[in-house]
């Protein structure tokens, strides 16, 4: 699946989840619902994907977890916060670098209209 099509399909799934629940719930509820929606749409993903941390050639752990890694191409960080901050954007960019993914999405479900809570990143 092309990256543009992949992000479009994923955003469609996220919008469906947001339509069903609206804002105001915990991030984990949106994550579990989104995983179910991705299954229904036959979009492959890994939830809470562990990422090995290598520092100067030494593995120092794998305690970093991505919210979602979709089709091994798209990093997704989910939030349910009052407002997104620059540190959230930095988090996505760092995850993209560590996974060598070229595209990433930061999605905040705590908004009245989901399109206002979506940020897309390309490396």
3-122 folds as Endonuclease; Chain A (3.40.960)
pLDDT at residue 1, as a whole number = 65
pTM over 0.85: yes
- Spell out the domain ranges in the chain: 3-122
Over residues 27-48, the pLDDT tens digits come to: 999 999 999 999 999 999 999 9
- Report the candidate in 55, 30, 53, 38 with the shortest Cα–Cα distance to residue 1: 38
**Taking all residues of the chain, what is their mean pLDDT, rounded to a whole number?**
96
Q: How do beta strands 103-108 and 74-79 pair?
A: parallel
Q: Kindly list the distances between the CA atom of residue 4 and the CA atoms of 23, 29, 46, in Å, as whole numbers in the listed order.
A: 26, 26, 19
Buried b (16+ CB within 10 A) or exposed e, 92-121: bbebbeebebebbbbbbbbbeebeebbeeb
């Amino acid at each position: 699946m092309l990256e543009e099509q992949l992000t479009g399909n994923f955003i469609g799934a996220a919008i469906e989840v947001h339509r069903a629940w609206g804002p105001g719930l915990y991030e984990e509820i949106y994550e579990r619902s989104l995983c179910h929606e991705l299954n229904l749409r036959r979009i492959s993903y890994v939830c809470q994907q562990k990422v090995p941390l290598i520092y100067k050639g030494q593995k120092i752990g794998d305690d970093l977890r991505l919210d979602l890694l979709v089709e091994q191409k798209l990093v997704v960080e989910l939030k349910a916060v009052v407002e997104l901050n620059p540190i959230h954007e930095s988090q996505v960019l760092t995850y993209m670098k560590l996974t060598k993914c070229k595209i990433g999405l930061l999605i905040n479900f705590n908004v009245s209209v989901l399109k206002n809570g979506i940020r897309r990143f390309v490396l």
